[in-house]
Amino acid sequence: MQVTMIGAGNMGRGIGTRLVAGGNDVKILDSDPEEARKLAGELGGNTEAGAAGDPLDGDVVVLAIWYEPARSVVEQYGDQLDGKVVVDITNPVDTDSFDGLVTPDDSSAAEELAKLAPDGARFVKAFNTTFAGTLIEGEVSGQPLDVFIAGDDADAKETVAGLARDGGLNPIDTGPLRRARELERLGFLHMVLQDGLGTGYGSTIKVLA
């Protein structure tokens, strides 16, 4: 599958590693084209690089950036997102206090981003509870990572679930896009637990039964 990933940072590296492991064609766009080129070279496979604002190739777009830049990207691309599966990985953390989320209590980053996009853009929340380093490894303590997915379009969710499975991960459908509210709070909790756990962002959230 052809996937355009916006963002060549740590999460871009982690998700990109899984996408390449799954045999996908990946185009990396970043505001710093050199960073995109470096990551494409690191990931190998059928990976290419470009600059922010380049056309969106394929049917899937991954927003591997922070929430505020993601808002700008969605507004910038506008109608180019129509019909595409848009994967929002963000946790809308208040970066000033790091003590809460900046989205309204009755909404989520995914829902707020969807409001900025064309009606035909199919938003899916995913990867916001997984850390970059664990995505690169694909597992923690021998267990594949769980990827919690939320969205209103069943086909879009299955597309993202397929990308996760092909990359060696375990997708879990959590329901409609409004479940992103709980997933983002869970992602934030996982982040603030790190100092106490002392795992260096090497832990994962796993459902065992």
Whether pTM > 0.95 for this model: the answer is yes
- Output the DSSP codes for 126-184: -STTS-HHHHHHTEETTEEPEEEEEES-HHHHHHHHHHHHHTT-EEEEEESGGGHHHHH
Please provide the CATH number assigned to the domain covering 2-197.
Answer: 3.40.50.720
Say what the pLDDT of residue 75 is: 97
Report the C-alpha gap between 43 and 73 in whole angstroms: 23
Say what the pLDDT of residue 128 is: 98
Q: Which helix (H) or strand (E) holds 188?
A: helix 180-192
Question: Do 194 and 201 meet the contact criterion of CB atoms below 8 Å apart?
Answer: yes
Domain ranges of the chain: 2-197
Say what the pLDDT of residue 190 is: 97
Report the C-alpha gap between 45 and 156 in whole angstroms: 24
Q: What is the pLDDT tens value at each position of the chain, 209 positions in all?
A: 999 999 999 999 999 999 999 999 999 999 999 999 999 999 999 999 999 999 999 999 999 999 999 999 999 999 999 999 999 999 999 999 999 999 999 999 999 999 999 999 999 999 999 999 999 999 999 999 999 999 999 999 999 999 999 999 999 999 999 999 999 999 999 999 999 999 999 999 999 99
Say what the pLDDT of residue 73 is: 97
CA angle 115, 117, 120 (to 5 degrees): 105
Q: Which two tokens stand for residue 206?
A: 């796993």
Say what the pLDDT of residue 71 is: 98
